[in-house]
């Protein structure tokens, strides 16, 4: 059985990531938040490197010419997006769009942070010809239909283990678009502060329970979705999951 963590913030090879990766077979996609973490991820040769500027860093990282240079060798662009928690959206939008320009030009996948700003994010994303988009930690139930029709992936993390709203979203998102993530190093208080990719099998299990699929089939389907998001295959190979 294979698992995928499509969004975690490891920045260097060290005992932490090695311990985690040796304990369970979970592939990890490493996502940056600013210039420093982007360079770290590339220089340390971390797997599936996504480079970019998180909305919380958009104010301090206005000149993103450095991103042009490293985006070419990265796997994708992110974490980028919008979040009113970090200040006015207008300056964030500028940085977001600059990153989407690069993603469009290079036809790289994008990871989008859209907390309380998913509508605006989708509006902006829709004006680009992007190859693949992931709405990371997607939690705006009323926009599920739009995400499905745009064919964007949506990732669910450990919060799914206790959030009824996320459960409802999982029910509505096309199963071919569901991915799993930990958003490491975020610690989940209702899960007694646990964090990291070790939680991924539990998230997959929860998705299988919600949709009524067998655990193994669900894991296979999500791994297949990840292959498409990462651009390693174009069409689905996963068998239709059977009901548990
Ligand atoms: Zn993140």
User: Domains (ranges, CATH) in the chain?
Assistant: 3-230 (3.20.20.140)
State yes or no: pLDDT of 22 exceeds 70. Answer: no
CB 171 within 8 A of CB 145: no
Strand order in the sheet with 110-113: 50-51, 76-81, 110-113, 133-136, 153-156, 178-180
Closest CA to 201 of 225, 223, 177: 223
pLDDT at 11: 76
Q: How far is the CA of 180 from the centre of ligand 1 (A)?
A: 13
What average pLDDT does the segment 121-148 reach? Answer: 97
Q: How far is the CA of 31 from the centre of ligand 1 (A)?
A: 7
Backbone angle region of 87, left / alpha / beta, with phi > 0 → left and psi within -120 to 50 → alpha: left
Could you tell me the CA-to-CA distances from 86 to 57, 92, 113, 147, 218 in Å, in that order? 8, 9, 12, 24, 35
Least confident window among 45-54, 119-128, 161-170, 228-237:
228-237
- pTM, to two decimals: 0.89
CB 147 within 8 A of CB 168: no
pLDDT at 58: 85
DSSP class of residue 188?
B
Q: How far is the CA of 66 from the centre of ligand 1 (A)?
A: 20
pLDDT digits (tens, 9 = 90+) for 70-111: 999 999 999 999 999 999 999 999 999 999 999 999 999 999
Q: How far is the CA of 80 from the centre of ligand 1 (A)?
A: 9
């Amino acid at each position: 059985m294979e698992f995928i963590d499509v969004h975690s913030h490891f920045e260097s090879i060290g005992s932490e990531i090695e311990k985690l990766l040796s304990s369970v077979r979970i592939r990890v996609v490493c996502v940056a938040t600013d210039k420093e973490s982007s360079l770290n991820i590339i220089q340390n040769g971390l797997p599936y490197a996504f480079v970019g500027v998180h909305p919380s860093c958009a104010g301090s990282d206005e000149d993103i010419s450095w991103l042009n240079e490293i985006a070419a060798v990265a796997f994708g662009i992110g974490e980028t997006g919008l979040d009113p928690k970090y200040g006015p959206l207008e300056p964030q939008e500028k940085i977001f769009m600059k990153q989407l320009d690069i993603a469009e030009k290079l036809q790289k996948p994008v990871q989008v942070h859209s907390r309380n700003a998913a509508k605006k994010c989708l509006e902006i994303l829709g004006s680009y010809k992007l190859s693949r988009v992931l709405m990371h930690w997607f939690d705006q139930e009323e926009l599920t239909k739009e995400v499905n029709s745009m064919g964007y992936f949506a990732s669910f993390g450990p919060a799914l283990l206790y959030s009824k709203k996320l459960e409802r979203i999982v029910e509505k998102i096309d199963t071919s678009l569901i991915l799993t993530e930990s958003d490491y190093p975020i610690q989940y208080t209702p899960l007694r502060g646990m964090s990291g990719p070790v939680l991924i099998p539990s998230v997959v299990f929860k998705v299988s329970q919600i949709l009524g699929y067998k655990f193994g089939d669900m894991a296979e389907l999500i791994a297949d979705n990840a292959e498409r998001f990462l651009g390693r295959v174009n069409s689905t190979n996963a068998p239709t999951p059977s009901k548990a």
